[in-house]
């Protein structure tokens, strides 16, 4: 009887120790507000929209300490429409993220599942979309480079190196899953980042085979007049980006640039032209904490395209401004303004959030509230 009692105490101790070494966190973001736009297909409009400053989500992330500096990690992240209660990301239950893997202090992290690609994850956070509460109303035109994280990669293997003197590397490969041809609908993505106190610089690259079928929940629809048809018709999609930021005192400034190419266009799939189309985007962003609870922000971006088959050079200039007031660490209210002027035969189009303007100009004003938990 005494031995049985001792064994019971040992088992209870072990179970408590195992429980103490595991950590699961529930988290989420809810954003909602009102948006007014000056011109959508020839008319102004009021819309109630969520997932603007950040995508609405709830998720579970966990870490289990296996000892010796090795841990099991997992993450399940759902995206949803806060105004209708429906699922986002093409109706997927965990459409934002769903992965499991191992993390080592010495060797880095290896994860498997549905994950983000490097442009959105590393360049996007240093752009107006990532730094200011305008969010997806402040993306590069048409979110043509996934700067606003409008798609994720299925069947992805991701490796993140340990950080050496501020330097971190990332490599991602997404299996296409097409029998007999492993390259079809596959994707590759890489990033190299250097970060130290107040300063950060990063380079990233993503390549996707047949993007419309590889990432079908993306922004490539005919209603996106910037690049929708090019994405639908492309046999290949490539993006290279650079970004840097510097924080000092109450201010933070960042600069980013991306080069995007839609290649091997199939005229029968929407573009109506062959060849390739490229876009270059340059952007500068600034944020300033006027008080500990009030942030002011502004950004400017210039985008120029090149349509090889026709010689057209669509251009987009965008000016963004925002005011963000923090009611607490987890709750803020904000106001934002976005103005786009197009040229080179293009019309203004703040896709994927709004429908295209009937002219070269489009203005969007928004008031919103965001809650993080």
pLDDT in tens, 280-294: 999 999 999 999 999
Q: Say what the pLDDT of residue 247 is.
A: 97
Structure tokens at 67: 């000892």
78/93 Cα distance (integer angstroms): 6
pLDDT at 230 over 60: yes
- Average pLDDT for 148-158: 96
Q: Say what the pLDDT of residue 181 is.
A: 83
Structural domain count, the chain = 1
Per-residue model confidence as pLDDT tens digits over 260-284: 999 999 988 878 888 999 999 999 9
327/294 Cα distance (integer angstroms): 9
Please name the residues in contact with 43: beta carbons below 8 A apart, sequence gap of 6 or more. none
Q: Say what the pLDDT of residue 264 is.
A: 95
pLDDT at 2 over 70: no
Per-residue model confidence as pLDDT tens digits over 75-112: 999 999 999 999 999 899 999 999 999 999 999 999 99
In-domain check, residue 134: yes
Q: Which helix (H) or strand (E) covers residue 214, if one does?
A: helix 211-214
pLDDT at 311 over 50: yes
Q: Say what the pLDDT of residue 242 is.
A: 98
13 falls in which pLDDT band (50, 70, 90)?
very low
- Average pLDDT for 318-345: 98
In-domain check, residue 121: yes
Matching residue, tokens 């239950």: 93
151/214 Cα distance (integer angstroms): 10
Asked if residue 113 lies in contact with residue 100, where contact means CB atoms within 8 angstroms, the answer is yes
In-domain check, residue 196: yes
In-domain check, residue 9: no
pLDDT at 9 over 70: no
Asked if residue 232 lies in contact with residue 211, where contact means CB atoms within 8 angstroms, the answer is no
User: Per DSSP, what are the bridge partners of residue 22?
Assistant: 64
Phi, psi (deg, nearest 5) at residue 341 = -125, 125
In-domain check, residue 251: yes
168: buried, middle or exposed (CB in 10 Å: 19+, 13-18, 0-12)? middle
Return the percentage of the chain with pLDDT > 90, whole number. 88
- Average pLDDT for 188-194: 98
pLDDT at 3 over 70: no
Instruction: Give the chain's mean pLDDT.
Output: 93
276/361 Cα distance (integer angstroms): 26
Q: Say what the pLDDT of residue 21 is.
A: 59
In-domain check, residue 224: yes
278/267 Cα distance (integer angstroms): 16
In-domain check, residue 215: yes
pLDDT at 150 over 70: yes
The distance from CA 23 to its chain's CA centroid, rounded to whole angstroms, is: 26
CATH number of the domain to which 203 belongs = 2.40.160.10
First vs last C-alpha separation in the chain: 48
In-domain check, residue 359: yes
- Average pLDDT for 136-159: 96
Sign of CA dihedral 263, 130, 133, 323: negative
Q: Say what the pLDDT of residue 180 is.
A: 78
Higher per-residue confidence, 2 vs 187: 187
Q: Say what the pLDDT of residue 5 is.
A: 44
User: Per DSSP, what are the bridge partners of residue 29?
Assistant: 57, 372
pLDDT at 325 over 80: yes
324/332 Cα distance (integer angstroms): 7
Q: Say what the pLDDT of residue 147 is.
A: 95
* CA angle at 368 for the pair 243 and 120, rounded to the nearest 5°: 25
Higher per-residue confidence, 5 vs 176: 176
Per-residue model confidence as pLDDT tens digits over 17-55: 444 457 999 999 999 999 999 999 999 999 999 999 999
Q: Say what the pLDDT of residue 218 is.
A: 74
SS3 content of the chain, % helix, strand, coil (to 5): 15, 55, 35
- Average pLDDT for 209-227: 92
Give the structural domain span for 294.
Answer: 24-372
């Amino acid at each position: 009887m005494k031995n049985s009692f001792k064994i019971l105490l040992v088992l209870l101790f072990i179970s408590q120790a195992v429980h103490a070494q595991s950590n699961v966190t529930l988290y989420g973001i809810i954003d909602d507000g009102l948006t007014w736009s000056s011109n959508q297909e020839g008319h102004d409009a009021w819309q109630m929209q969520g997932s603007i400053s950040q995508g609405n989500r709830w998720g579970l992330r966990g870490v289990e300490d296996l000892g010796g500096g090795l841990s099991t990690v997992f993450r399940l992240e759902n995206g949803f429409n806060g105004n209708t209660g429906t699922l986002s990301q093409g109706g997927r239950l965990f459409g934002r993220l769903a992965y499991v893997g191992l993390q080592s202090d010495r060797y880095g992290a290896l994860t498997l599942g549905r994950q983000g690609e490097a442009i959105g994850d590393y360049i996007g956070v240093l752009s107006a979309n990532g730094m200011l509460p305008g969010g997806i109303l402040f993306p590069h035109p048409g979110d043509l480079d996934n700067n606003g994280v409008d798609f994720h990669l299925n069947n992805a293997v991701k490796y993140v190196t340990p950080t050496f003197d501020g330097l971190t590397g990332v490599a991602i490969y997404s299996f296409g899953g097409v029998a007999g041809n492993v390259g079809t609908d596959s994707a590759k993505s890489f990033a190299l980042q250097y970060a130290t106190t107040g300063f950060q610089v990063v380079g990233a690259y993503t390549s996707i085979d047949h993007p419309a079928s590889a990432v079908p929940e993306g922004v490539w629809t005919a209603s996106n007049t910037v690049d929708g048809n090019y994405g639908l018709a492309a046999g290949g999609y490539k993006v290279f980006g650079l970004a840097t930021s510097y924080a000092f005192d109450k201010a933070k400034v960042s600069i980013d640039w991306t080069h995007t190419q839609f290649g091997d266009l199939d005229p029968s799939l929407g573009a109506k032209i062959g060849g390739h189309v490229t876009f270059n985007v340059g952007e500068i962003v600034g944020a300033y904490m006027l008080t500990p609870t009030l942030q002011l922000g502004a950004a400017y971006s210039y985008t120029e395209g090149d349509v090889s088959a026709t010689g057209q050079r669509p251009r987009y200039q965008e000016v963004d401004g925002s005011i963000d007031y923090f009611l607490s660490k987890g709750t803020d209210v904000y106001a934002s303004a976005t103005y786009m002027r197009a040229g080179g035969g293009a019309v203004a189009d703040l896709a994927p959030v709004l429908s295209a303007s009937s002219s070269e100009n489009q203005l969007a004003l928004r008031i919103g509230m965001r809650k993080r938990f």
